[in-house]
Structure 1
């Protein structure tokens, strides 16, 4: 979906546009909205991102050492500092996304996880996986409402050459009847249709963490970076992050409410 095609009422999506976005999310387990961020916003973020990523790689002994701990070769993740521009309101609590998250997770949802994923050139295929299983396992034989949603913000155009994520629509609704089935996603996914998360710079993607997906090989000469910010229902467990006091004081009250479970340092 492109923001320009969605009806706005003031600074929010209209009721019909909201219903359309939510219907797609509930059906597929994810939804992409292009045109949400300006090129200038992404450019500022990308400059800071590249510096933080380079520092992360250097302090951990280079890519070779990092690959001993990564989930798939040349798939690098790190926790960026929660300072500007990473902590800017448009990224941590975009005013068009907050009403959607409130309807999906409840008005008191929280955020305690801010990470990144970068597929470096030469990255290899990740195993098919979920980022979070159904919270009741197989004890509840029907799918429950969303409990954890990740916001992915690409910092470049995502395409099949640079390793756009592969996703299996509708798999957030699958409840595994046994641990054996949950461990056989690779063979099960091979028999099911998938799509690639091909989206332009400036997009935002919301994905239910139960949805099957995997990182793909980056065959381009450039890294493919993105943010990964997880929002969740207030009733679920969360490990707190450290938020600088200056950042906390710069945020409006609604953003503080979302990040209230974290440590202010």
Structure 2
């Protein structure tokens, strides 16, 4: 994608300008959140726990996301928790600025793009809260998608393209030029659920795995992708439950949880984890 626009990016210590860019553009990159060694260890732990991610034919709980792509749940294991990926201070600040102090986690999983996958259709992750009212042009976000690549991402192996500002629903005939950003390991990209985006082809000979988080305001849950389905939106290992707080305690909406009584035992936000 030669000549495309760049997406605004900020260091982990710059949450204020990052929030401003997210409000104006609908997408922002945060750099330097994790070391490359931490990401490599996290990738190995996730792939060891989920060997099915290396072979789509073995997947039983997944959503097709275009030719050669899938979305599937990832267990929140001790390795995932200890990596720090669920409680990055810069991401916490970005989420609070965009969604308010009571934001919650609605889903966690893997977005995989296999070698040879083609360009994805342009889409939004969710729909307007009040279709036909023009309120989307002024309302703050209700949900964010956060993508945390487990390998370095560039235009060859399946980066994500965006039309900046499309969370404000400009006329279809006046879309801005495409924008993208390379993502080294340790960075993340976050976007408004209503921002128009698409996956680029993976022209490399290696898969492009990336973890995703869906963060949202407490009144909202993702019915577009999970409503009326039996797909798992959150999978938590037993020994990790005492470490999580109530940002993970979604109790309604479609999809399911893999832990009985999860919402009843989680800590209040701000409490120290057990142990």
**Aligned residues of 1:74 and 1:119 also touching (Cα < 8 A):** yes
> Are 2:154 and 1:154 aligned?
no
**1:59-208 paired onto structure 2 within 5 Å:** 61=57, 70-88=64-82, 90-141=84-135, 142-174=137-169, 188=173, 192-208=176-192
Number of paired residues?
Answer: 236
Q: In angstroms, what is the RMSD of aligned CA positions? A: 2.6
> Are 2:28 and 1:31 aligned?
yes
**Aligned residues of 1:32 and 1:206 also touching (Cα < 8 A):** yes
**Aligned residues of 2:18 and 2:28 also touching (Cα < 8 A):** yes
1:92: how far off?
A: 1.5
TM-score w.r.t. the length of structure 1 is 0.79
Structure 2 gaps, min length 5: 1-8, 227-232, 252-256, 261-275
1:242: how far off?
A: 4.2
Q: Which runs of 4+ in 1 moved over 6 A?
A: none
Q: SS in structure 2 opposite 1:61?
A: helix
Corresponding residue of 1:226: 210
**Aligned residues of 2:74 and 2:235 also touching (Cα < 8 A):** no
**1:43-54 paired onto structure 2 within 5 Å:** 43-54=40-51
1:56: how far off?
A: 4.3
Structure 1's 125 and 135: CA in aligned 2 closer, same or farther, altered over 3 A? same
**Aligned residues of 1:134 and 1:175 also touching (Cα < 8 A):** no
**Aligned residues of 1:119 and 1:225 also touching (Cα < 8 A):** yes
* Pairing partner for 1:244 from 223, 237, 256: 237
Structure 1's 196 and 26: CA in aligned 2 closer, same or farther, altered over 3 A? same
What's the CA shift string for 1:168-223, capped at 9, x where partnerless? 111011167xxxxxxxx6xx58x530112312111011111111011111111111
C-alpha distance in 1 between matches for 2:242 and 2:147? 25
**Aligned residues of 1:78 and 1:115 also touching (Cα < 8 A):** yes
1:43: how far off?
A: 1.0
Structure with greater strand percent: 2
Q: SS in structure 1 opposite 2:130?
A: coil
The structure whose RCO (Cα within 8 Å, separation 6+) is larger is 1
1:50: how far off?
A: 2.5
**Aligned residues of 1:138 and 1:175 also touching (Cα < 8 A):** no
